[in-house]
């Protein structure tokens, strides 16, 4: 009887929800904004914060493009502290032009939110669409360059 019970329990087990939430399972993700700030300062890497919602079609489309892009995945894993959030933080610097999703912001290791690293859209400065992946890659490189030139 116990082996049947164990089999039934095993079948019900689902794969654990990773912190990646589909943005890249090979990337090491931090759990909280506070942890991200600590890791950025400690590692001297920029923190990349992705705000998104599960039921947002624009977020889902961006997530798919982000997860499929090898260059982004490699840079995110090796050169950034990564955080994806499905809720707002208390840091109002992370929503300089409003609380919308998807929204990607960078925080440098001195813990300065880089409001100067923006996307292509004047009405939502920090949003990206799937076709903006090359632009996002450029902004990731810009965030890395600023560490070398400004810090």
pLDDT tens digits for range 125-150: 999 999 999 999 999 999 999 988 76
- Digit-coded pLDDT (tens) for 119-131: 999 999 999 999 9
What CATH number was assigned to the domain covering residues 33-144? 3.40.30.10
Buried b / exposed e across 93-109, counting CB within 10 Å, b at 16+? ebbeeeebbbbbbbbbb
What is the distance between the alpha carbons of residues 51 and 82, in angstroms, rounded to a whole number?
A: 11
For residue 67, what are the contacts with CB-CB under 8 A and spacing of at least 6?
22, 23, 24, 73
Burial class (CB in 10 A: 0-12, 13-18, 19+), 41: middle
What is the distance between the alpha carbons of residues 59 and 8, in angstroms, rounded to a whole number?
A: 36
pLDDT attached to residue 151: 57
- Digit-coded pLDDT (tens) for 2-48: 555 554 444 444 445 589 999 999 999 999 999 999 999 999 999 99
pTM of the model: 0.86
What is the distance between the alpha carbons of residues 24 and 67, in angstroms, rounded to a whole number?
A: 5
Q: Residue 103: helix, strand or coil by DSSP?
A: strand
């Amino acid at each position: 009887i116990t082996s049947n019970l164990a089999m039934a329990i095993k079948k019900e087990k689902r794969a654990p929800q990773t912190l990646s939430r589909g943005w890249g399972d090979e990337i090491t993700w931090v759990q909280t904004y506070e942890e991200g700030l600590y890791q950025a300062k400690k590692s001297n890497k920029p923190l990349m914060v992705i705000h998104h919602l599960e039921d947002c079609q624009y977020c889902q489309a961006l997530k798919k493009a982000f997860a499929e892009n090898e260059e982004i995945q490699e840079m995110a894993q090796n050169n950034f502290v990564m955080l994806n959030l499905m809720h707002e933080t208390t840091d109002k610097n992370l929503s300089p032009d409003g609380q919308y999703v998807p929204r990607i912001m960078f925080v440098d290791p001195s813990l300065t939110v880089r409001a100067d690293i923006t996307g292509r859209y004047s009405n939502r400065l920090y949003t990206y669409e799937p076709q903006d992946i090359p632009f996002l890659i450029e902004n990731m490189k810009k965030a890395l360059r600023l560490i070398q030139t400004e810090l």
